Structure 1
Amino acid sequence: MFFWDQHKTITSCYELFTRKVCDRYQLTQMEYDILMFLHNNPKYNTAADIVKIRKSTKSHVSTSLKSLENKGLIERIQSTRNKKHIEIVILNKAESIIEDGMKAQKEFAKNALDGLTKEEKYMCMAVFNKICANADAYLKKYAEGENEKLFLL
């Protein structure tokens, strides 16, 4: 399937645009991605949210969050009502990284979508969202099926 082989081209291109930011601030790609995810999605501010939405592994997210915390870029705040609920807050020290990251993301989008009309951009987003929704639905069905198989054993 050509499309699936080509998605790595898009990811590689994105990483070229963001590499300058990562190098400048001595971040791994995962640390950068998490920081930008938290900025772009403020309502998803827990490690579990990052794992679930970004489809990242718990260990990679945990390691990256610890590193970001050690660098003074984020803080984890434990809920007073639920000790298991820990929110992640971006600290002021990360402002310049976020600013440069936003510029890199805009530059990437401009280049990746070059030559597309506004209508084509919306169509592309709609089709991509449908593909993702289909994949998510299948993954949920698969996970439920796997859980049922475990109970049968």
Structure 2
Amino acid sequence: MHFWDRHKTITGYYESLTRSVCGKYDLTQMEYDILMFLYSNPEFNTAADIVKIRKSTKSHVSTSLKSLENKGLIEKKQNESNKKHIELFVTESAKSIIYEGIETQKRFAHDVLKGFSDEEITTFKNIFEKICNNAEDCLNNK
């Protein structure tokens, strides 16, 4: 299996689809990815969540969040119960980007899962989840 080589084909195709959205709205790939992550995972709305879950570096996340905030696409709010806890929220200004991003993600899923039955897709999702959990366990036990 050449997964470690071939997975770049999958991410490369995804990034080629998102390039038009990024270009249209003057976003880097990281900014786009963070915006879509915050929209899709509102329960993980801190910089630390993004770093932990997306396995991104603190400096890249920090730089991207500052840029997104300067563009008015996200806003930071201090948590009422914990003043040190800064939460991130997608603004109304980002809605058109989010909409186009969702359509792009749907196209990506449609294209890469073409020819798979619903049962095969379910099996794939389950296997992929197990692979990710195994890798996460290995990283945590390093």
TM-score (normalizing by structure 2)? 0.98
Structure 2 match to 1:61: 61
Return the offset for 1:78.
Answer: 1.1
Q: Which amino acid is the alignment partner of residue 117 of structure 2?
A: T
Structure 1 match to 2:18: 18
Structure 2 match to 1:118: 118
Structure 2 match to 1:130: 130
**Is 1:139–2:107 an aligned residue pair?**
no
Aligned equivalents of 1:30, 1:3: Cα separation in 2: 23
Alignment of 1:67-82 (within 5 A): 67-82=67-82
Aligned equivalents of 2:115, 2:16: Cα separation in 1: 20
Return the offset for 1:37.
Answer: 0.3
Return the offset for 1:80.
Answer: 2.9
Aligned residue pairs total: 142
Aligned equivalents of 1:126, 1:84: Cα separation in 2: 37
Return the offset for 1:84.
Answer: 1.6
Structure 1 match to 2:49: 49
5+ long unaligned stretches in structure 1: 143-153
Aligned equivalents of 2:116, 2:51: Cα separation in 1: 32
Q: Which amino acid is the alignment partner of residue 120 of structure 2?
A: E
Return the offset for 1:4.
Answer: 1.2
SS in 2 for 1:87: strand
- Give me the CA root mean square deviation: 0.8
Aligned equivalents of 2:69, 2:41: Cα separation in 1: 18
SS in 2 for 1:75: strand
Provide Cα deviations, 1:64-114, integer angstroms capped at 9, x if missing partner. Answer: 000000000000101232222000011000000000000000000000101
The structure number with the bigger radius of gyration is 1
Provide Cα deviations, 1:9-36, integer angstroms capped at 9, x if missing partner. Answer: 0000000111110000000000000000
The structure where helix makes up a greater share of residues is 1
Return the offset for 1:3.
Answer: 1.0
Aligned equivalents of 1:80, 1:118: Cα separation in 2: 44
Q: Identity of paired residues, percent? A: 62
Aligned equivalents of 1:79, 1:116: Cα separation in 2: 44
SS in 1 for 2:76: strand
Aligned equivalents of 1:128, 1:4: Cα separation in 2: 14
Q: Which amino acid is the alignment partner of residue 124 of structure 2?
A: C
TM-score (normalizing by structure 1)? 0.91
